[in-house]
Amino acid sequence: MIDFVCWNCGASLKHELLPLSRRAVCAVCEVELHVCRLCQFYDRRVSDQCTEDRAEQVREKERANFCDYFKPKAHAYVAGDDSKARTAKNRLEGLFGTTDGEPTATEDVQQKWDRLFGAGEKKGK
């Protein structure tokens, strides 16, 4: 028996009845499950992202649909690469001196803002 997982969060779907209902949702993250992203015919590398030639085109790959060719795929979850988001957050925290959303005691956010954008400087200097 294949242990299917949610395409969005990776939670096990072993308690879901097959075939999946069009209204089936993940018990953990509550996303719809009868979607292209969970289908064995879903392939980001091909036109329309579907390898089933007879299937009608579905525009929203992460929304429930009525595709008759839908077959859930094991290992449909692909962890996202959040390195860019982490880098941007770290740079922002470094710029404004925040940790956990709170300004640091050493320098006020307003002072950094003024220094960054030159507030208070006279023109022509």
What tens digit of pLDDT does each residue of 36-62 get?
999 999 999 998 999 999 999 999 999
6 or 3: which leads in pLDDT:
6
How many domains in the chain?
A: 2
pLDDT for 91 equals: 84
Rg from Cα positions in the chain? 24
Query: What is residue 57's DSSP assignment?
Result: P
- Answer yes or no: do 73 and 96 share one domain: no
Mean per-residue pLDDT for 24-30?
A: 94
pLDDT for 88 equals: 82
What is the span of the domain harbouring residue 97? 83-117
Separation of CA 52 from chain center: 25
Query: What is residue 17's DSSP assignment?
Result: P
Which is nearest to 64 in space by CA: 27, 37, 43, 29? Answer: 37
- Answer yes or no: do 28 and 7 share one domain: yes
pLDDT for 15 equals: 87
pLDDT for 101 equals: 53
pLDDT, the chain, mean: 83
Residue 66 to residues 40, 58, 96: CA-CA distances in angstroms? 15, 9, 49
- Answer yes or no: do 69 and 38 share one domain: yes
**pTM of the predicted protein model:** 0.62
Residue 21 lies in a domain: yes
- Answer yes or no: do 59 and 25 share one domain: yes
Q: How confident is the model at residue 120 (pLDDT cuts 50, 70, 90)?
A: low
